[in-house]
A = this chain, B = another copy of it.
């Protein structure tokens, strides 16, 4: 029999952790183990001062001149380029703009345009709802007889046939944490003549992504999860250089124009990735996002991934060791190479159990109908945190704390 995992083991891992110093780069409340960075990342310690500077020194003092003197006008490009380094993009292939949903719309529309003789969009049944909703809305409004072909993860490859215009997938599933082989699926899409559109919302900053290596076409992603960009941070998008000049953006706003301040009567798309900008850049949101991205860029993505794998393995092993194998059903793949930086368990009392955990300082989240979701952000989650989180869960199980009526009240946001 394998030796039990002890708290001392985890203390030793924390001491040896090469990412240990990053914990102090975040301002987290005392007594909280934050396992929800996959929903809203924690606040980098440098964020308040940076926002203060932009608000009180730049906006208040330099007013309209800030667009030039403080480089506001090129923030989307600058931060986009930094995010590009996290996902294997080449220069000029990434930009920050709008929300993930809106970026999905832009690129799905562009992909359909590039494959105008085809009528099928392939995606996954359990894809994040907004991805499916955006596709549904676009296809209905185009009114050209497109269909959305949804498959279970194991059947996705087979569903990509030579009638597919676009394959639109989330690399790491929001609910299960299951991760696709990005290169393999991209190759399958290309072999069938389809455009591949990846949603990296649960990947960037959590797992290594190499879009160039995979020959990817399009990608989008979220700024407020593992990038720690703040609530509702702007999103980003990626378009491989070879496609850019062939796309006439459907959301053809003035800041995507080749010469926005010439105020020309007709739209001329900017030469590069800038054509995917629409309206005025949200400077406050961009400011916070850049701080988060900068912290992320200081870390080695290989070390992040290695620690993430270890954290999830240990958490799951401890759930079995301390609580037993039968109580929580692991919904995430059991092989770490098949999943992102999260673990999900099904339990019929998922909602009140998560309420009880949060009450005791272990913050994860709940996804309907019965999923307890735990995200592991290696920059600020440590090994002893894993021990303490499982110990808290074990106590809740031992006490049947989910019977307490206050944990059954529902919240607007879950």
Nearest-CB distance from A99 to chain B (Å)? 3
A215 at the interface (CB under 8 A from B): no
- Apart from A42-B60, A100-B280, A130-B279, 12 more pairs, CB < 8 Å: A27-B56, A34-B63, A36-B63, A51-B51, A55-B230, A113-B141, A133-B252, A136-B266, A224-B280, A232-B279, A261-B368, A261-B412
> CB distance B101 to A279 under 8 Å?
yes
Given the known inter-chain contacts A133-B267, A257-B133, please indicate yes or no for A278 contacting B101, CB distance below 8 A.
Answer: yes
Of residues A63, A74, A235, A368, which shows the largest number of chain B Cβ atoms within 10 Å of its Cβ? Answer: A63
Given the known inter-chain contacts A56-B48, A132-B265, please indicate yes or no for A250 contacting B367, CB distance below 8 A.
Answer: no
Which B residues lie within 8 Å of A252 (CB)?
Answer: 133-134, 136-137
Q: Measured between alpha carbons, how far is A329 from B328 in the docked complex, in Å?
A: 77
> CB distance B251 to A105 under 8 Å?
yes
The chain A residues found within 8 Å of chain B, CB to CB, are 27-29, 32, 34, 36, 39-40, 42-43, 47-48, 51-52, 55-56, 59-61, 63-68, 72-74, 98-102, 105, 109, 113, 125, 128-130, 132-134, 136-138, 140-141, 150, 175, 222, 224, 230-235, 248-255, 257, 260-267, 278-286, 288, 358, 363, 365, 367-368, 411-414
Q: Measured between alpha carbons, how far is A205 from B51 in the docked complex, in Å?
A: 26
Nearest-CB distance from A260 to chain B (Å)? 8
Of residues A67, A109, A235, A363, which shows the largest number of chain B Cβ atoms within 10 Å of its Cβ? Answer: A67
> CB distance A261 to B40 under 8 Å?
no
Contact of A411 among B68, B109, B248, B254 (CB under 8 A): B68
Which B residues lie within 8 Å of A264 (CB)?
Answer: 129
Closest residue of chain B to A222 (Cβ to Cβ) is B280
Q: Which 5 A-B pairs have the closest CB atoms?
A: A99-B279, A137-B252, A130-B254, A101-B253, A231-B283
